[in-house]
Chain A
């Protein structure tokens, strides 16, 4: 089983729709969680950190469920510019702090 698993998609949704991604992780000792965004042929960039109480940044909402070991990302009122690959990232403790990435979910917003 992969340490971090995501549905690879692709997700194709119309502009203005709400879209949700889930990500599950296997290491119960994981401590930090993030969502990254990666545009085609670019490096990943931080979209938002995910906190235990859940957090929101404009149209984006992230949730963490430690009991079920999953995190989620909700995008409301999607824009064409939201088209990208979204990566779930988990920081695990393995001697040092190891960052493990999901394989990413590709999202395309259609006009």
Chain B
């Protein structure tokens, strides 16, 4: 079974903190994605990566950065957390042309 693991289910951080969300997949997938999901807005793509050290901006990259130093790990970084970044964050991975597999999600609250 494909497994995508996100480091935390729930996180509470203070405004201005630097926040790291980690995602690891065990199926040697080339492509990895970070989304955030908010009520009424659906899943919005923040960043994605199609290879080690490669990254592409999604639809809402502002305030975020990513790192992919190893194929299995894709990290999302909130440089200076703000309250409008309170959300559910979902990581996904996929091989080319196949369906995506998701991690269990991280519910981040910024206070």
Contact = CB atoms under 8 A, between A and B. Distances in A.
Contact of B99 (A46, A95, A101): A46
A33 B58 CA distance: 19
Contacts of B45: 98-101
A98 B45 CA distance: 9
Interface residues of B, number: 26
Interface of B: 31, 33, 35, 40-43, 45, 48-50, 54, 56, 58, 90, 92, 94, 96-97, 99-105
Contacts of B100: 34, 46, 89, 99
Contacts of B42: 87, 101-104
A32 interface: yes
Contacts of B49: 96
Interface residues of A, number: 24
Interface in A90-111: 91, 94-104
B90 A97 contact: no
A73 B9 CA distance: 31
A61 B74 CA distance: 34
A59 interface: no
Contacts of B35: 101
A31 B97 contact: yes
B97 A43 contact: no
29 contacts: A8-B40, A31-B97, A32-B97, A42-B104, A43-B90, A43-B105, A44-B90, A44-B102, A45-B102, A46-B99, A46-B100, A89-B100, A91-B97, A94-B56, A96-B31, A96-B50, A96-B56, A97-B31, A97-B50, A97-B94, A97-B96, A98-B48, A99-B33, A99-B100, A100-B45, A101-B43, A101-B45, A103-B43, A104-B42
